[in-house]
Amino acid sequence: MRMSLLTNSLTGVGVTDLKAIAGWAAANDIHELDVGPAIAMDRQVFEDVLGEGKVEIKTMIYCRNFLSEDEEEARQHQEALKERIRFAGTVGIEKIVCSTGVTKDAFAGTCFVPEKSADACVELAKEFLEEAEKNNVRLCWENCPMMGNIATSPDMWQMLFDRLDSDRIGLCYDPSHLVWQMIDPYGNIFKFKDKIFHMHAKDTHVDYEKLSLYGTQQNAKWWCHRLPGLGDLDWNRIVDALYQIGYDKAICIEHEDPVWDGTEEKVKRGILKTRDHVSQFFM
């Protein structure tokens, strides 16, 4: 097991040079990258980075609402994901992290009824899986409730996997999103052990005093993402569970802690804090 880094936190503060990111990561004992959509898909640059042998690039990420009610927007996002699948196949990248898409009718007042989007999501996923099969790429749904997604809970994971019998579709398991949804972040590692293709290292803190003040519907001020070690998750327990299920891939740093954001220096300090906290449990 080892650490990987999602580029989004660095591109968010203006660092978009893949070679520079790779060099910094390698110098700080991070030898795998997940490349986000702000990095240009320049085949020569990717091949140069891979050719240097300092870091591997095994994952790209593109989470959008592929079923937006704006048909042109939906079409553009669908084609952008297919383009990434083809690019990944060309340069030898193994996985694409994505969302499912969600239709407008899944939202009913304050309720979210993801089952209403299931038919459309399954049919679209079949298109993406056909492209993935051609390019020897696997797709990983991140369980993030934002960015147009219904693969957000164990109930929906099971429903979708039952309807898509494919070894090319699985999860990018992000326990931080389970915390604020009040879903068990530990036991579900065992329940979905065969479908965890990728793993994000991010934490969440729930402020129960604010939750009591606002409730769950008024706003989201009662929870926030934190660095691992500063939130509510037990990373020793998570890493141990991953060892128990035989997970032998990277754990990817997805830095979204607002305390350690805003400047390149702060973001890099947050990344290294995450690296140190999670990797201490590696055997």
pTM of the model: 0.97
Task: Indicate whether 4 pLDDT > 80.
Answer: yes
Task: Indicate whether 45 pLDDT > 80.
Answer: yes
pLDDT of residue 125: 99
Burial 80-106 (b: 16+ CB within 10 A, else e): ebbebbebbbebebbbbbbbbbbbeeb
CA distance 133 to 139: 10
Q: How far apart are the first and last CA of the chain?
A: 8
pLDDT of residue 110: 77
**What CA–CA distances, in Å, run from 71 to 74, 75, 147?**
5, 6, 16
pLDDT of residue 271: 99
pLDDT-derived band at 138 (thresholds 50, 70, 90) equals: very high
Report DSSP state, residue 51. Answer: H
Report DSSP state, residue 153. Answer: S
Task: Indicate whether 109 pLDDT > 80.
Answer: no
CA distance 121 to 38: 25
- Give the CATH H-level superfamily of domain 2-279: Divalent-metal-dependent TIM barrel enzymes (3.20.20.150)
pLDDT of residue 219: 81
Q: Residues 205-233: pLDDT tens digits?
A: 999 999 999 999 888 899 999 999 999 99
The C-alpha torsion from 211 through 217 and 223 to 224, rounded to 10°, is -160
pLDDT of residue 50: 98
Q: Residues 144-199: pLDDT tens digits?
A: 998 899 999 999 999 999 999 999 999 999 999 999 999 999 999 999 999 999 99
**Contact in structure between 123 and 80 (CB atoms under 8 Å):** no
When pLDDT is averaged across residues 114-135 and rounded to a whole number, the result is 98
pLDDT-derived band at 275 (thresholds 50, 70, 90) equals: very high
